Structure 1
């Protein structure tokens, strides 16, 4: 088995290769010494020289890109250098990457923008809103899972949040459309899509999607939720290489390096975790946002795309 591959060891080799490719192009290029351009592209030959892809041919790579149902990647021949380049279409946590995106100018530019999540995560979302956390954007789909939408949401989502695009644009929230049709937004100045921008909320029931009340917060509740959101963002702010995370120590009780927890999953959480003594599981592939239900003392450390929870009291992530 090739070292450094992401995903569950029980997964098919092609699945693990795709997960590893997704991680490198979205988050880990610098970790493996892979040079990335400002537009997110890397040289295919440099990619294939890495240990993780020593058994991957260009033909197999092209097959992965072509058959990816969510169109996560773009493989292109650079017209100036005649070099094959590849990038992830969205989902980057690498701050310097600037993707070519179409800016939405009107609410009618897309049919809808919805975010899928879990029942458990909804408990915090309805108070604080959706957060991009350490990613560049919150991801929104242009339809619900039953409508065959390819990217932007998991088909397993139990809660669907509809975003009022007109109100969001009026509030100055930037909205973009990625190359594979995902609606992206950095949120407001705190990286949030507030509950006030939710136009409709639906829960998957026995007979289909059923409406649930849209949250309406009192001024006191809104202020409390704002304070919670601020504490969350402060706790998850990167402390820098070798720096100390909030709460003291080198990234928490586990002796980590003060990194941000990774964001995984096509919904908002689906955060891969592993406690001491437990096996390592695969990272989810389609990122969006993460909701944090409680912050107490310190932060988890991160190894690759797997967050190692060294102390339960550190931080409680919705899953």
Structure 2
């Protein structure tokens, strides 16, 4: 979701930033740290025609708080808060979730349902499966999501699955050793019209 005052140009830049910081930094030759930070001036060498002020505006106006800017030893750096597929990213600021006073929900689409109800949720090429705290369409869920999978946190935690919370409030889980969260950890699955789906 993008802020109403963002131009099409800003939306394009935001998507480019997401791709570079989450997936292609190493391929593009950027020096990405284990905590996900990249020096902004180095990043701008890959983003021609953009300035530091453009980057600052994107970070400030992004409703989903996808990015963090920080000045480290006098150097401005930027990172994506979650969503990485780069295995080198191992030191993000993530808090282990010991308890959940909210629903942990993954949003998805009907076209994936046949696979999900057979195999469970997969982290695929990413480092984590993403969840929202409740029906949160700002951080964690897409407005276009058609299905909502509620996780039985206590059962999953008891069986050794680890849930983390990112700086912008998105819940993350790497799944089991194969990168899956099996359907036995689903509490319920509903459509956006609150119709319950069977997954047993």
Shift of 1:106: 2.0
**Please, what TM-score do these two structures have when normalized by structure 2?**
0.92
C-alpha deviation, 1:210, in angstroms: 2.1
Q: State the partner residue of 2:61.
A: 67
Ranked by relative contact order (alpha carbons within 8 Å, sequence separation 6 or more), the top structure is 2
Query: Cα distance, 1:178 vs. partner?
Result: 0.4
| Residues 106 and 169, structure 1, Cα contact 8 Å, conserved in 2 | no
Aligned to 2:79: 87
Which residue in 2 is equivalent to 1:55?
49
Q: What does residue 14 of structure 1 align with?
A: 10
The separation in 2 between residues aligned to 1:21 and 1:193, in whole angstroms, is: 29
Matched, 1:202 2:195: no
- Secondary structure class of the residue paired with 1:86: strand
Question: Counterpart of 2:196 in 1: which secondary structure?
Answer: strand
Secondary structure of 1:14's aligned partner: helix
1:101 aligns with 2:89: no
Shift of 1:55: 1.3
Is 2:35 the counterpart of 1:39?
Answer: yes
**Unaligned runs of at least 5 residues, structure 1:** 1-10, 217-319
Following superposition, the deviation at residue 149 of structure 1 comes to: 3.2
Match of 1:127 among 90, 105, 118: 118
Structure 1 residue aligned with 2:181: 193
**Aligned-pair CA distance for 1:16:** 1.5
Unpaired segments ≥5 residues, structure 2: 1-6
Say how many residue pairs are matched. 193
CA-based RMSD: 1.3
Deviation for aligned residue 1:169? 0.3
Greater Cα radius of gyration, structure 1 or 2: 1
Aligned counterparts of 1:165 and 1:191: Cα–Cα separation in 2? 17
Give 1:15 shift. Answer: 1.7
Structure 1 segment 1-319 matched on structure 2, within 5 A = 12-50=8-46, 53-78=47-72, 81-98=73-90, 99-108=92-101, 111-144=102-135, 148-205=136-193, 209-213=194-198, 215-216=199-200
